Amino acid sequence: MSEWKEWNGRDDQIDEMEEAQYGVLLSNNPSEIVDVSDMISLESYLNEQDVHEYLICNPHPLADMICQQARTGQPVWVKVPNDTFGMGRWTFQKHCTGVYIYMSLAPDWNIPNAVYAFTEFKEEV
């Protein structure tokens, strides 16, 4: 999981930012992804911009699945340990030994502890 880190000017932090494959967000402008690979002096830029924190961008762990579902509209099966999300957005539900399984055409990709699949889970009811 990506998290904000305090910028304190260390060389290892500059190396980390320069090696970031998916970009870096800076605390002075969190809506803009900064490509630091083309900068002559990253350290000068960071100090001139009064940056206090940075975040190394990483792709969502389900990025490929999210893209495939968005392109195709393919149903997604979601297995969650409890029913805290209710039935509102889901088209099918079954309860299996304390686990809820949903099928959705518009899944919520950020449910804590959820497991996602393009095929139905084979659980004992």
- Domain locations in the chain? 5-56, 63-117
Amino acid 118: pLDDT = 95
Are the CB atoms for 30 and 49 separated by under 8 Å? no
Are the CB atoms for 79 and 115 separated by under 8 Å? yes
pLDDT tens, position by position, 8-59: 889 999 899 888 888 888 887 555 667 676 677 888 888 787 788 888 988 8
Q: Band of the pLDDT at 87, cuts 50, 70, 90?
A: very low
**Max alpha carbon distance in the chain (Å)?**
61
**In a 3-state reduction of DSSP, which class is residue 18?**
helix
The distance from CA 67 to its chain's CA centroid, rounded to whole angstroms, is 13
Amino acid 30: pLDDT = 57
Decide if pLDDT at 2 tops 80: no
